[in-house]
C-alpha cells in the first residue's frame, strides 16, 4: 500500500480491476506435477496450475504479473498490481479510459479475464482498493468501514485475562500491520503488541489453535490513545547520581566514576537524556499528537522537590 500511496498524484483519476481465478493462469511444468499430488477418498490427484494455499504462490504470481505488465509500464501507463487486484491511474478520466482499453486488450492476449462484479471501470477520484479508501482530491487514505469493523470485531474479543486462539492474534497482527500507512506512527503503536506476541514462543503452523491468555500489558498496547493532558518529564542530577519522574514513574541511577567528575550542567543534560530514553515509546506517541516542538526548562533546585528525593537518596 505504501507504493500505491506514493504513486498517486493529486487530482488523479482511477479505476480498479480484479482478475478472475488469477493463480490458475500459471501452468505448472509437466515434470513437476508430481510435487503437487494429494490423496483423497481413495483417489490420487495432481495439480496442473498454481494452487491457492501454496506458500510460494503469491511470490510466483507477483513475478508473473510484473513480467506481464512491464510492456505497458514502460510506455508510461501507471498500473499498480497487488496479486489479482490492480489499480490504474492517470491525470484525467479520458487518459484513464484510454489506458484501461490498452490494459484490457493486453491481458486478453495473455488469456487473462477479469471479474466484472469486483471491478470499478468507471474513472473516479475516490476509490476503494485493498481495503483502503483512496481520495486523490484531498490526497487522503483511510481504512474502509468494512476493514475497520473487522479489526474492531477482533479487538472486542481481546480482554485482560481472557484466553483467545493464537490464530486470532496472528490475524489481528496482520490486519494492524497493513494499516500503518494510513495511521501516523502506526508501526510504533504496534511494536509493543508484536513483542508480546513473539514472546509467547508459539508456532504459527503447529500451534495456531493454542489458547493464549491476554495479559494486562498486551491489552494496554492495543488500547486507543486519546489523552490530551499536558505531560511533564522532570529530572535532577548531582555529582553522585541522577533521577527522573514521568507519569508517576520514577527512575534513578548512580554515575560511573568517569562521569562523576563532569560539569554539573553536563550531568543535568545526561539525566534528561537517560529519562527520555527510558520512556521513548510513550513520549513519541504523545508528542506526535500534541506537540509542534519539544523544549527543556530549568527548574530552580528549591522547587524541584520530586527529583531531589532521588538525589538525596543517592547521596545518602
- How many angstroms separate the CA atoms of 121 and 163, rounded? 45
Mean pLDDT for the stretch of residues 135-146 = 89
- Which residue has better confidence, 128 or 274? 128
Domain ranges in the chain with CATH number 3.30.70.270:
2-142
Q: Which residues contact 263 (CB under 8 A, 6 or more apart)?
A: none
Of 67-71, 183-187, 279-283, 296-300, give the range with the top mean pLDDT. Answer: 67-71
Q: What is the mean pLDDT of residues 285-293?
A: 67
Local confidence band at 305 (pLDDT 50, 70, 90 cut-offs): low
> CATH for 2-142?
3.30.70.270
User: Smallest Cα–Cα separation from 78: which of 92, 63, 64?
Assistant: 92
Angle at 42 between CA 41 and CA 46, to 5 degrees: 90
For 83-114, letters b (16+ CB in 10 Å) and e give ebbbbbbbeeeebbbebbebbeebbeeeebeb
For 21-51, write each residue's pLDDT tens digit: 888 988 999 888 888 898 888 899 988 999 8
Q: What is the pTM of this model?
A: 0.62
Give residue 316's pLDDT: 42
Higher pLDDT, residue 260 or 283: 260
b/e 257-270 (16+ beta carbons within 10 angstroms → b): eeeeeeeeeebbeb
* 102, pLDDT greater than 80: yes
User: pLDDT tens across 179-192, in order?
Assistant: 867 776 677 778 88
The Cα 166–Cα 208 span in angstroms is 5
Query: Is the predicted pLDDT of residue 249 greater than 90, yes or no?
Result: no
Model confidence band, residue 82 (pLDDT cutoffs 50, 70, 90): very high
Closest CA to 142 of 154, 150, 134, 130: 134
Of 98-102, 134-138, 307-311, the one with minimum mean pLDDT is: 307-311
pLDDT-derived band of residue 299, with 50, 70 and 90 as boundaries?
low
Surface-to-core class of residue 80, CB atoms within 10 Å of its CB (0-12 exposed, 13-18 middle, 19+ buried): buried
When pLDDT is averaged across residues 56-67 and rounded to a whole number, the result is: 92
Q: Report the distance separating Cα 15 and Cα 79, nearest Å.
A: 10
Amino acid at each position: 500500500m505504501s507504493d500505491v500511496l506514493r504513486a498517486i498524484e493529486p487530482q488523479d483519476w482511477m479505476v480498479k480491476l480484479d482478475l478472475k481465478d488469477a493463480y490458475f493462469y500459471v501452468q505448472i511444468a509437466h515434470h513437476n506435477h508430481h510435487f503437487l499430488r494429494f490423496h483423497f477418498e481413495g483417489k490420487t490427484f495432481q495439480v496442473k496450475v498454481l494452487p491457492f494455499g501454496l506458500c510460494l504462490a503469491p511470490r510466483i504470481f507477483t513475478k508473473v504479473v510484473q513480467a506481464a505488465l512491464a510492456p505497458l509500464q514502460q510506455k508510461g501507463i501507471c498500473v499498480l498490481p497487488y496479486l489479482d487486484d490492480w489499480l490504474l491511474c492517470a491525470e484525467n478520466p479520458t487518459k484513464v479510459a484510454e489506458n484501461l482499453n490498452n490494459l484490457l486488450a493486453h491481458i486478453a492476449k495473455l488469456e487473462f479475464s477479469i471479474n466484472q462484479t469486483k471491478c470499478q471501470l468507471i474513472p473516479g477520484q475516490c476509490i476503494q482498493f485493498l481495503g483502503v479508501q483512496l481520495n486523490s482530491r484531498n490526497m487522503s487514505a483511510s481504512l474502509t468501514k468494512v476493514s475497520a469493523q473487522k479489526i474492531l470485531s477482533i479487538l472486542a474479543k481481546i480482554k485482560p485475562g481472557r484466553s483467545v486462539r493464537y490464530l486470532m492474534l496472528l490475524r489481528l497482527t496482520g490486519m494492524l500491520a497493513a494499516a500503518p500507512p494510513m495511521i501516523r506512527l502506526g508501526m510504533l503503536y504496534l511494536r509493543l503488541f508484536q513483542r508480546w506476541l513473539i514472546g509467547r514462543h508459539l508456532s504459527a503452523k503447529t500451534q495456531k489453535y493454542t489458547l493464549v491468555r491476554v495479559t494486562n500489558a498486551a491489552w494496554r498496547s492495543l488500547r486507543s490513545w486519546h489523552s490530551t493532558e499536558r505531560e511533564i518529564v522532570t529530572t535532577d542530577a548531582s555529582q553522585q547520581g541522577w533521577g527522573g519522574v514521568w507519569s508517576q514513574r520514577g527512575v534513578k541511577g548512580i554515575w560511573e566514576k568517569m562521569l562523576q567528575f563532569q560539569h554539573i550542567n553536563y550531568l543535568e543534560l545526561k539525566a534528561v537524556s537517560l529519562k527520555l530514553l527510558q520512556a521513548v515509546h510513550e513520549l513519541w506517541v504523545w508528542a506526535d499528537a500534541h506537540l509542534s516542538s519539544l523544549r527543556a526548562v530549568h527548574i530552580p533546585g528549591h522547587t524541584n522537590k520530586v527529583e531531589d528525593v532521588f538525589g538525596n537518596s543517592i547521596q545518602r
